[in-house]
Amino acid sequence: MYRVVYSGYCIDILNAIQRHVTSLGTDFQYQLYEVQDNSYGVFDEKKRRWTGLVGDVVSGKADMAVAGMIRNYERESVVDFAASFMDYGVGILVRKPSRTTSAFGFLEPFTVQVWLCISIAAFVVGVSMFILSRLSSLAEDRQAHCNRLHFNFHNSIWFTLASLMQQGCDVTPKTISGRIIGTFWWFFTLIIIATYTANLAAFLTVTRMDSPIEGLSDLATQQKIVYGTVRDSSLEQFFMKQADVDPLYKQIWTQMDSSRPQSMVDSVLDGYRRVIQGNYAFMWDYPVLMYQMKRHCELTTVGKPFNRKNYAFALPKNAIYLESITLSILALEEAGELAKLRQKWFDAESLCPEEDSSSSTPSSDTPNTARGLRMQNVAGVFYILIMGAALSVLTSLLEITWHKCQQLPKIAKTNSGTIFSSGV
């Protein structure tokens, strides 16, 4: 014969209430059991009775429902609630999206359009400097003429590229017009490089997590991911009632109701399993989802909590011990005991190595998490270097081949002259 031992936030609160009531001279003993249907309780229209925890309290089978009971109008009409011990909100639990790391992340600070405009600007400025050097009024001057010969088209493009890379160049414009456009080009490159450098570190050290869902509205506008909550729960009743007053909730409830039974689960644990399997979003109590997220590293929450209410223990109507329970909870709150218990269960250190245990903010609120640079973050730079080296070798081979082809006629002419002279 074994004895079931319960643990958790509500159990710790119950034990704290027992100690406080006992210290006041009142005997407080309790015995825990689990309800048969394992539900919090909703009103069954067919059987005309309450189910779950609420049903046991209403029928007198239980003296108090020790759980994260949500206070709402329907429940408040049949049971009494003690003082609330924790705020409540509904969260959306999904499987963590895959992390994407680009080998060419160093290009991400600018869009393709910006890179294209910078390339066109460099080419246009280079061509403009070449033309201005040719059209300069000093072209007839000998020194200017010499500079014009050296500042040809190739050197003009090389000057703009060297300036863009913040490197020096052997050939610089000597004409006033060339120096004017060169000065403005330097200013342009100064701003571009400063902007690029300021954003480069963030793009290289941030690992992007591509999530198709960022909140409740995204759920309603997509068809790929099935979403739902626990069947016959107060949250299901909330969506059903809100569908009559809010278009967003109407769209959500319509999709959940039309995709039964795939959208609803029988228990919270079934909801976790469905999320881990993928393509399912489970909506449930935000504090509970936060706790599970720190225990299962493949899970995360998205969006901000909605339908904010609070938790409280449920007792029978006009129970004589309601005041004692309520005063004990208020005393524990003022003494900081409830805050310590919340920190123990909900702010505990995460088992996930990539999560910051000191923060209560879900990773979904910060979908891009900063990390140290890895090889895949900077691999693109090495690819560019290898491409440059290969292009350089190929160009060198082409230059050698070209020069040899240019020298063949001269060699042939020289050989023919030598043979002719020998013949004479």
| Residue 55 tokens, joined | 């049903």
**For the segment 358-370, what is each residue's pLDDT rounded down to a tens digit?**
333 444 444 444 4
Residue type, 324: S
User: Using CA atoms, how far apart are residues 172 and 163, in angstroms rounded to an integer?
Assistant: 11
| Residue 181 tokens, joined | 């456009």
Q: What is the model's pLDDT at position 141?
A: 52
The answer, as to whether pTM is greater than 0.85, is no
**For the segment 206-254, what is each residue's pLDDT rounded down to a tens digit?**
555 556 678 888 888 888 888 999 887 888 888 988 988 889 999 999 8
Element (H, E) at 398: helix 375-423
Q: Give the up-direction half-sphere exposure of residue 364: CA atoms within 13 A in the CB hemisphere.
A: 26
Q: What is the model's pLDDT at position 322?
A: 92
Q: Is the dihedral of CA 202, 206, 209, 213 positive or negative?
A: negative
Backbone φ and ψ of 95, nearest 5°: -75, 140
Q: CB of 83 within 8 A of CB of 326?
A: yes
Q: Is residue 374 scored above 90 in pLDDT?
A: no
Q: What is the mean pLDDT of residues 301-320?
A: 90
- Tell me, what DSSP letter sits at residue 223? S
Alpha-carbon distances of 297 from 237, 352, 372, rounded to whole Å: 30, 5, 19
Q: Give the up-direction half-sphere exposure of residue 82: CA atoms within 13 A in the CB hemisphere.
A: 30
Q: CB of 105 within 8 A of CB of 204?
A: yes
Alpha-carbon distances of 130 from 119, 125, 279, 286, 395, rounded to whole Å: 17, 9, 59, 66, 24
Virtual CA dihedral for 48, 54, 55, 59, nearest 10 degrees? -120
CA angle 184, 185, 186 (to 5 degrees): 90
Q: CB of 95 within 8 A of CB of 299?
A: yes
User: Using CA atoms, how far apart are residues 202 and 382, in angstroms rounded to an integer?
Assistant: 19
Backbone φ and ψ of 136, nearest 5°: -60, 145
User: Using CA atoms, how far apart are residues 154 and 174, in angstroms rounded to an integer?
Assistant: 16
User: Using CA atoms, how far apart are residues 302 and 215, in angstroms rounded to an integer?
Assistant: 6
Burial, 189: exposed, middle or buried (Cβ in 10 Å; 0-12, 13-18, 19+)? buried
**For the segment 78-118, what is each residue's pLDDT rounded down to a tens digit?**
999 999 999 888 999 998 876 666 667 778 788 888 888 88
Residue type, 202: A
Q: Is residue 420 scored above 60 in pLDDT?
A: no
User: Using CA atoms, how far apart are residues 31 and 125, in angstroms rounded to an integer?
Assistant: 85
**For the segment 112-146, what is each residue's pLDDT rounded down to a tens digit?**
888 888 888 888 888 888 887 777 644 445 555 55
